[in-house]
Amino acid sequence: MHNKECNGIFQSLRHIILASASPRRYELLKATGIVFDVFESGFDEPEPEKHETPEDYSVKNAMAKSLSVSERYPGAIVIGADTLVYIDGNILGKPTDSKNALDMLLSLIGKWHWVVSGCAVSENNKIVESWFTKSRAFIGDFSVDVATAYIATGEPLDKAGSYAIQGKGAFLVKEIEGSYSNIVGLPVYETIERLLKINAIKVI
């Protein structure tokens, strides 16, 4: 996939690749006007290691995704990202089925939880920038029937934490603290900050 338009605020100075098949990350980056290609990394995320923090785990995955594409495209600036949800130290990945999705969502109802995105930028198979961004979100105190009806839409089945703040699940989120785009899947402020830092983009 290639984003050919450049009608935003920033202009690409380098060949930029988003190492993600996520349409949400694509739309967030496209809105800035940056011209970039999209190539899925194909990286299979391993289970977290014992005592590995969610922040370290997300950055590790983001780096692996970025590097797996970077080695195929020398000279390109490759952005990798990995977003996860955790509560009480327990990482909630993508649900395995509808029952798992419901159990996961019910564990969040009426509570605050964390959303962390690990991000990495690589060039010539070397990491040049890596970081994580954290946000907090509060899911309202909805009934099991409401949660079940939402799961039945199918939207949560490929979402970390079993909900999409940018989709049908927007009604679930009563309050957030921190970056909204981070919860969607790509912390845009920090990403633009790093791309400017390494002279991969400029202001139009």
Task: At 92, list the tokens.
Answer: 């909630």
The one-letter code for the residue type at 73 is Y
Task: At 184, list the tokens.
Answer: 């969607």
Catalytic residue among 82, 97, 145, 158: 82
Interval 155-189: pLDDT, tens: 999 999 999 999 999 999 999 999 999 999 999 99
Pairing between β-strand 36-38 and β-strand 10-12 as defined by DSSP bridges: unpaired
Annotation marks residue 56 as catalytic: no
Task: At 85, list the tokens.
Answer: 């949800």
Enumerate domains of the chain plus CATH numbers.
2-203 (3.90.950.10)
Q: What is the mean pLDDT of each run of 10 residues along the chain (204 residues)?
A: 65 96 95 95 88 95 97 97 94 94 97 98 98 98 97 95 97 98 98 98 94
Query: What is the model's pLDDT at position 8?
Result: 72
Interval 123-143: pLDDT, tens: 999 999 999 999 999 999 999
